[in-house]
């Protein structure tokens, strides 16, 4: 069985995400999609344009390179876990993309002559397969996998972890969530996706590692350790 204490270490990541998800769902219910998109893009600056333009690119290949780094320390299972999660989540995402096939903001706003869509110079705009966002899914997939690894090493420590370690773990998890949220929001800021697209993409990226961990925990993470026996 999985240690209950192992799952308790996730609250600093899971609870803020669920609260944010509720806020987003509330906004999506209260405002029409085009109006909400313009509200989220009301303030553009050259600094933000540059930041989100390049930050969004992280989900296209740099995060996959970072996922290979554990191989240098012979932590093959970490990379395998991320690969399994990404392939599973990617398959779900592509099925939804090509089944639902929503237009992207640049295509939708062509119907509104009185509304101007804020765009960032130098960004190639896409017109179809908007729902859900693959970038948002990848950002959350990477962050959630890292959260699993942090929690795993925290729970299997040979010595009891003190308050300082617990605080550091919580801060690290919260920081990973912020980085994932910034990546997801970058797709809205760049007008590549609507908020609903990144919302569902984040759900896929958030939930897939939990499902894959449950199915593959014994082979990938070897939870049956002396440390686990003490905290079970």
In total, the chain counts a number of residues equal to 232
Domain count, the chain: 1
Q: Give pLDDT, residue 7.
A: 62
pLDDT per residue as tens digits for the range 119-151: 999 999 999 999 999 999 999 999 999 998 888
**In the predicted model, what is the mean pLDDT of residues 90-99?**
93
pLDDT at 166 over 80: yes
For the chain, give percent helix, strand, coil, nearest 5.
75, 0, 25
pTM above the 0.95 mark? no
Q: Which of 64-68, 89-93, 160-164 has the lowest mean pLDDT?
A: 160-164
pLDDT at 231 over 50: no
Q: In sequence order, what are the residues at sequence separation of 6 or more whose Cβ sits closer than 8 angstroms to the Cβ of residue 126? A: 104, 106, 192
pLDDT per residue as tens digits for the range 32-76: 999 999 999 989 999 999 999 999 999 998 999 988 888 887 778
Instruction: Copy the structure tokens of residue 140.
Output: 């959350």
Alpha-carbon dihedral sign for residues 66, 9, 177, 142: positive
165 touches 7 (CB < 8 A): no
Q: Give pLDDT, residue 154.
A: 75
**In the predicted model, what is the mean pLDDT of residues 90-100?**
93
pLDDT at 232 over 60: no
Closest CA to 145 of 199, 193, 211: 211
Confidence of residue 153 (pLDDT cuts 50, 70, 90): confident
Confidence of residue 156 (pLDDT cuts 50, 70, 90): low
Q: Give pLDDT, residue 230.
A: 40
Q: Which domain holds residue 142?
A: 4-231
- Average pLDDT of every residue of the chain: 86
């Amino acid at each position: 069985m999985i240690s209950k204490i192992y799952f308790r270490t996730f609250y600093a990541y899971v609870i803020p995400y669920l609260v944010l998800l509720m806020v987003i769902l509330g906004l999506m219910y209260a405002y029409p999609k085009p109006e909400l998109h313009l509200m989220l893009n009301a303030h553009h600056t050259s600094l933000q344009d540059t930041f989100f333009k390049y930050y969004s690119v992280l989900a296209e290949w740099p995060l996959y390179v970072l996922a290979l780094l554990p191989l240098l320390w012979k932590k093959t299972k970490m990379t395998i876990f991320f690969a399994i999660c990404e392939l599973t989540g990617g398959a779900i995402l592509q099925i939804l993309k090509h089944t639902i096939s929503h237009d992207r903001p640049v295509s939708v706003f062509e119907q509104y002559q009185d509304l101007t869509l804020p765009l960032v110079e130098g960004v190639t705009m896409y017109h179809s397969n908007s729902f859900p966002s693959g970038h948002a899914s990848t950002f959350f997939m990477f962050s959630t996998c890292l959260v699993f690894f942090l929690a795993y090493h925290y729970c299997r420590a040979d010595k009891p972890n003190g308050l300082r370690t617990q605080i550091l773990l919580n801060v690290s998890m919260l920081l990973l969530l912020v980085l994932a949220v910034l990546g997801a929001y970058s797709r809205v800021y760049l007008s590549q996706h609507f908020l609903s697209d990144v919302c569902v993409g984040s759900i896929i990226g958030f939930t897939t590692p939990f499902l894959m961990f449950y199915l593959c925990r014994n082979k990938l993470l070897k939870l049956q350790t002396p440390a686990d026996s003490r905290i079970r």
